[in-house]
Structure 1
Amino acid sequence: IPLRSARQRTGPAAGSADPSGNSLEPVLTLRAGGDRTPLVCVHPGLGLGWSFANLLPHLDPGRPVHTLQSPGLLTGVDRLPPSMGGMADLYVARLRALLPHGPYLLLGRSFGGGLAHEMAVRLRRAGEEVRMLAVVDAMPMPDTILGTPLDPVAVEDELLRILLQSHVPDLPVPPGPLDRARVFATVRRSGFDALTDPQLHALVDVGTHHTRVVRHWSPTPYEGRVTLFSATRDTWPTPAEKTAAWRRVAAALDVHDLACGHSDVLTPGPAAEIAAVLETALRGD
């Protein structure tokens, strides 16, 4: 969901990110100020964190919210770390430049769930408190996929479909291979008109990089609790598969089902459910 559209639908409080500014920055503040522990959100596969704005109306109004976005959106993918561990090191450094010490509240969506997991491992190793690690419809890759090579054509087609389904949900996705130019023209009519061609190409390139990274990611065991929000309307992976995967790497696991598909987990309805669970668990912290 484009940040501008999300703001129109959610009406975040004064002091949140200005969509007329550079909303592709690696650290984007969605809501500033407040005395609650900040929530730090980690982007999904395309590298954008804008859809987290739909959480704002349902979170404690005193809670600052920041999102970490892929620096590859501005610099290109050639300078991105080639592994999940390397990305986690980079993102922890960016996080600690913003918030030098915990407690930390981390929320990662899809690819960002695995990245938030590795960030939490590193923060705990550094002696910091990770008060919450929550992942939204994320899953470590099964052994049948881990380490397998990419089919670049298939990956690009899937990323373009995700871009359409996530940002133009009312438009039926056409059958057959998708073309970047036509997809970009469509999403521009639905809120991406401020992005240039190079920026839209960067979205897809970043998504391809992240797909490669996650296929070679073997999660580090996490000696803490993970909260999993699991979409239930997709054929793969199933909720049971996601739960089993996280039980293998987390010391404790809480699971909350979302009656939606993967692309819809941060649309307004599911976002309200996620925020309610977070605030209940935090108990006003």
Structure 2
Amino acid sequence: MHPGDGELHYYRHLVPLLSPHLRCHGLQAPETMSHRGFDTFEARVAAYAEDIRAVQPHGPYLLAGFSFGGYPAYGVAAALEASGEEVRMLALIDTLTVRALNAVAPLTLPPVLQLAKTFEVLDAALEAELAGLSSEGAQWERVAARARERGTVAPHFTGADLKRMWHLAGEILPPQVRTWRVPDVRARLLLFRAEGNPSLDETLGWSQDVPRERIDVVPLPGGHSGAIEPPTVSVLARYLVEKALGQT
């Protein structure tokens, strides 16, 4: 499931490690490709569940989402279960609940700086560079260049791509989920937590919505973006494959 900007490029290192063992499909937010959209998060996950069933009519299903992508993964799991299907795996990769996220990382920065922080390139030097640029477009391009150098975005991403991503990440997707009531699911919650995550709760807040005994917490070395980047992505992929194939 796509993270908060609606894109799937984050999984470019993970999918090649999964695909020899599992058939993989990605759900990208339709707003990134068309004028299709949803008024509520509930409508979004219902449509995503229909999209999944068009490809695979019946379970068992293996669902995963990185960061914000954990929300649609969880919501789709609930929708599929409500229709009588089995969700064998529900994996959230470093997904904080909305409450936990607001507590540790409130959105107080301007959009350009917020995305720079998201892609782990924000530092004092970059802030100084951005302050010296005369146009917003040039600022987006500089952040994109730094993120490409850092490897936290795909090599083809430009400043225009980042600005479009902010429209979804800052104005559509996270605002939708703030009013979402977390439903019950029968599937166990497989929660991967980056050890560098600032949340003080080992379940990233999910124990307030899911009984603690139904949450399996798996620590991953490094920070948030590093969870799906080399070298940590190999650890993540190995665990997902083993779990999906019933080897753990």
User: What CA distance in whole angstroms lies between the structure 2 residues aligned with 1:72 and 1:232?
Assistant: 32
User: What CA distance in whole angstroms lies between the structure 2 residues aligned with 1:152 and 1:81?
Assistant: 26
User: What CA distance in whole angstroms lies between the structure 1 residues aligned with 2:187 and 2:11?
Assistant: 24
**Counterpart contact for 2:111–2:166, Cα < 8 Å:** no
- Per the TM alignment, residue 226 of structure 1 is displaced from its structure 2 partner at its CA by 0.7
User: What CA distance in whole angstroms lies between the structure 1 residues aligned with 2:76 and 2:39?
Assistant: 16
Distance 1:54 1:173, change over 3 A: farther
1:108 equivalent to 2:65? Answer: yes
* Range with bigger deviation, 274-283 or 253-262: 274-283
Match of 2:13 among 44, 54, 60: 54
**Counterpart contact for 1:116–1:133, Cα < 8 Å:** yes
Deviation readout 1:20-51 (Å, 9 max, x if unpaired): xxxxxxxxxxxxxxxxxxxxxx0111111122
Distance 1:247 1:127, change over 3 A: same
Counterpart of 1:83?
A: 40
User: What CA distance in whole angstroms lies between the structure 1 residues aligned with 2:49 and 2:138?
Assistant: 35
- Per the TM alignment, residue 181 of structure 1 is displaced from its structure 2 partner at its CA by 3.4
Match of 1:92 among 19, 27, 49: 49
* Range with bigger deviation, 254-263 or 209-218: 209-218
1:226 equivalent to 2:183? Answer: no
Larger strand proportion of the pair: 1
Q: Secondary structure at the match of 1:106?
A: strand
Match of 2:166 among 190, 204, 219: 204
Counterpart of 1:216?
A: 179
**Counterpart contact for 1:232–1:238, Cα < 8 Å:** no
Counterpart of 1:249?
A: 209
RMSD between aligned alpha carbons?
3.2
**Counterpart contact for 1:92–1:123, Cα < 8 Å:** yes
Instruction: Give, as a single letter, the amino acid of the residue that structure 1 aligns with 2:12.
Output: A
Distance 1:94 1:144, change over 3 A: closer
Greater RCO (CA < 8 Å, at least 6 residues apart): 2
TM-score (structure 1 length as normaliser): 0.70
Match of 1:271 among 230, 233, 242: 233
Distance 1:159 1:217, change over 3 A: farther
TM-score (structure 2 length as normaliser): 0.79
**Counterpart contact for 1:107–1:116, Cα < 8 Å:** yes
**Counterpart contact for 1:219–1:249, Cα < 8 Å:** yes
Deviation readout 1:105-126 (Å, 9 max, x if unpaired): 0001111101110100000010
Deviation readout 1:87-122 (Å, 9 max, x if unpaired): 101211221222222111000111110111010000
User: What CA distance in whole angstroms lies between the structure 1 residues aligned with 2:174 and 2:19?
Assistant: 34
Q: Secondary structure at the match of 1:48?
A: coil
User: What CA distance in whole angstroms lies between the structure 2 residues aligned with 1:61 and 1:96?
Assistant: 22
Counterpart of 1:161?
A: 117
**Counterpart contact for 1:109–1:138, Cα < 8 Å:** yes
Match of 1:175 among 124, 127, 132: 127
What is the aligned length? 232
**Counterpart contact for 1:114–1:139, Cα < 8 Å:** no
Q: Secondary structure at the match of 1:174?
A: helix
Instruction: Give, as a single letter, the amino acid of the residue that structure 2 aligns with 1:183.
Output: W
Q: Identical aligned pairs, as a percentage?
A: 27
Instruction: Give, as a single letter, the amino acid of the residue that structure 1 aligns with 2:25.
Output: H
Distance 1:174 1:195, change over 3 A: closer
- Per the TM alignment, residue 230 of structure 1 is displaced from its structure 2 partner at its CA by 0.5
Q: Secondary structure at the match of 1:247?
A: helix
Distance 1:172 1:123, change over 3 A: farther
**Counterpart contact for 1:108–1:115, Cα < 8 Å:** yes
- Per the TM alignment, residue 279 of structure 1 is displaced from its structure 2 partner at its CA by 1.8
Unaligned runs of 5+ in 2: none
Counterpart of 1:280?
A: 242
- Per the TM alignment, residue 143 of structure 1 is displaced from its structure 2 partner at its CA by 8.2
Distance 1:75 1:100, change over 3 A: same
